[in-house]
């Protein structure tokens, strides 16, 4: 049993141990963290045990039964994310006094933007690298709510998400749009249906797969009266369920194009059952975006052919 301990001031050793613990959690276990940390499994295990000794409680179970966080481990992991993000933010603030951009850009993107020709995020990355070749780029794919939360607490310099339910604590810059169409798989009864034979009312009898969180997708689900029988967290899951032939679901037209070319999907033949989504860049209102965040925003605006906001 780990004895009770009390941490006073956070020391360098605590920061180092928390980084190792975070890497273990992110990798999904001690063995998987070996490659990321470039140290042996026994050493990783010892460092985690040292952190548990310093904190006074068990953070995770590890062994033949697999790796799993304890309730305390979940809380420490979340606190470590905030602390390490603050440390990195401090380092970036100091680096902003230097002439050359350095450090790590934390960028968060919504699901399936790479295949959208309107997004031009790849062009923005290329432009950013011209001005900041020494900067490492960390990219996270997550839900809109998680990205907004990460921008607010400083874990992300900038996020790109569908525009939905704006927060007064964030700034939003319109970037590009995405067309969402309703699709069915080749084994679905609607796949061979004639367009004139299918109406919006007919869709109410079909099982539908949709995002299970507040989003333009959820709004469209209610607007078109669709019967959601599967809730998912991302569009990869929607595509998987549509391909089963058991569900219909909305997907970005650029993402579905590959499945259509293979004969695996078709648009559901109800022309009015579609919607468009505006994607926006999100940044904190306060504190002002960092130099790294502003630099990538500038590259993003250049790629989109738009003017950056005057204050950022």
Give pLDDT, residue 101: 82
Give pLDDT, residue 1: 47
Give pLDDT, residue 209: 97
Rounded to the nearest integer, the mean pLDDT of the chain is 89
Closest C-alpha to 76, from 103, 95, 58, 98:
58
Beta bridge partners of 232: 211
- Distance between CA 273 and CA 286 in Å, rounded? 39
- Distance between CA 288 and CA 57 in Å, rounded? 38
List, for residues 2-41, the tens digit of each pLDDT value: 555 555 677 888 888 999 999 999 988 888 888 888 888 8
Closest C-alpha to 285, from 172, 159, 187:
172
For range 113-131, the mean pLDDT: 96
Q: Residues of 265-282 as b/e, b for ≥16 C-beta within 10 angstroms?
A: bbbbbbeebbbebebbbb
- Distance between CA 56 and CA 74 in Å, rounded? 15
Concatenating the DSSP letter of every residue in 159-171 gives EEEE--S--TTEE
Q: Which domains does the chain have, with CATH numbers?
A: 12-87 (1.10.10.10), 100-176+278-304 (3.40.190.10), 178-277 (3.40.190.10)
Please tell me whether the overall predicted TM-score, pTM, comes out greater than 0.75 for this model.
Answer: no
For range 166-188, the mean pLDDT: 95
Give pLDDT, residue 8: 61
Give pLDDT, residue 96: 60
Least confident segment among 93-97, 115-119, 214-218, 263-267:
93-97
pLDDT of residue 311 exceeding 80, the answer is: no
Give percent above pLDDT 70 in the chain. Answer: 94
């Amino acid at each position: 049993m780990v004895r009770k301990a009390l941490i006073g001031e956070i020391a360098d050793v605590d920061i180092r141990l928390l980084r190792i613990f975070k890497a273990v959690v992110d990798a999904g276990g001690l063995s998987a963290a070996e490659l990321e940390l470039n140290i042996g499994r026994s050493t990783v295990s010892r460092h985690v045990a040292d952190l548990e000794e310093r904190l006074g409680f068990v953070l995770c179970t590890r062994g033949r039964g697999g790796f799993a966080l304890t309730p305390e481990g979940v809380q420490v992991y979340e606190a470590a994310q905030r602390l390490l993000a603050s440390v990195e933010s401090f380092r970036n603030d100091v680096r902003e006094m230097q002439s050359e951009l350095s450090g790590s850009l934390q960028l968060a993107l919504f699901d399936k933007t790479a295949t959208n020709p309107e997004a031009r995020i790849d062009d923005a990355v290329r432009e950013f690298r011209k001005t900041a070749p020494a900067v490492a780029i960390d990219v996270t794919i997550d839900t809109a709510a998680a990205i907004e939360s990460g921008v607010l607490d400083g874990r992300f310099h900038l996020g790109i998400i569908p525009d939905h339910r704006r927060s007064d604590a964030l700034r939003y810059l319109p970037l590009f749009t995405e067309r969402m169409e309703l699709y069915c798989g080749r084994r679905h009864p609607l796949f061979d249906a004639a367009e004139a034979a299918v109406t919006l009312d007919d869709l109410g009898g079909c099982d539908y797969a949709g995002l299970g969180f507040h989003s333009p997708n959820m709004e469209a689900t209610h607007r078109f009266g669709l019967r959601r029988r599967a809730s998912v967290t991302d569009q990869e899951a929607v595509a998987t369920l549509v391909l089963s032939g058991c569900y219909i679901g909305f997907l970005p037209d650029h993402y579905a194009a590959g499945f259509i070319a293979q004969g695996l999907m078709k648009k559901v033949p109800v022309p009015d059952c579609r919607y468009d989504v505006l994607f926006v860049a999100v940044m904190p209102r306060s504190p002002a975006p960092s130099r790294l965040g502003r630099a990538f925003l500038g590259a993003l605006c250049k790629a989109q052919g738009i003017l950056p906001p005057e204050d950022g």
